[in-house]
Amino acid sequence: MPRDLLVALAYAETHLDGHNGEPSASNGYGVMHLVSNPTNHSLEKAAELTGLPADKLKADDEANVLGGAAVLRSLADKLGLDATARKDPGDWYRAVAQYGNASSPSWPACTPTPSTSSSASASTCAASRSSRRRSPPTAASTPASAT
């Protein structure tokens, strides 16, 4: 998986702070926030995928990152990301959303069609992603009753 994506996810989850193996409020551990609670079992999944004990995944930053990467790769595989798609950080969107236990990822990964060239696909995907971004409402678009 793209290294920069892994770093960005760890930063978003924990600001790269493993909290010395102590759990978060949602029972997440380490810089990758591997979670063990009734709705999210990424810690157990990481242990299964890596063969590392949960205690090591909780307290050792290197093991925790390996575990997080293994869980993300597993999610990407289930979503059908092939080797080419795995090189593009944007194509990991749905896997990252699932990793964070998002209830409904509404911005699916852009999958270029085989009939377009790679540069045309990239610009089409970028335009498609850009058009799905939501802008905050402006004063002109906000009803008077809402202000």
Question: What's residue 75's pLDDT?
Answer: 96
pLDDT in tens, 82-114: 999 999 999 999 999 999 887 655 655 444 444
pLDDT in tens, 114-129: 443 444 444 344 443 3
Question: What's residue 104's pLDDT?
Answer: 59
Question: Are residues 79 and 69 in contact, defined by beta-carbon separation less than 8 angstroms?
Answer: no
Does the residue 135 lie in any domain? no
Number of domains in the chain: 1
Does the residue 143 lie in any domain? no
Does the residue 90 lie in any domain? yes
Find the domain containing 116 and state its range: 3-120
Q: What is the pLDDT confidence band of residue 25, given thresholds at 50, 70 and 90?
A: very high
Does the residue 56 lie in any domain? yes
Question: What's residue 101's pLDDT?
Answer: 83
The mean of the pLDDT values for the chain is 79
- What is the percent of the chain with per-residue pLDDT over 90, rounded to a whole number? 64
Does the residue 131 lie in any domain? no
CA 147 to CA 117: how far, in whole Å? 47
Outline where 15-145 has alpha helix (H). 42-50, 54-59, 61-78, 93-99, 118-132
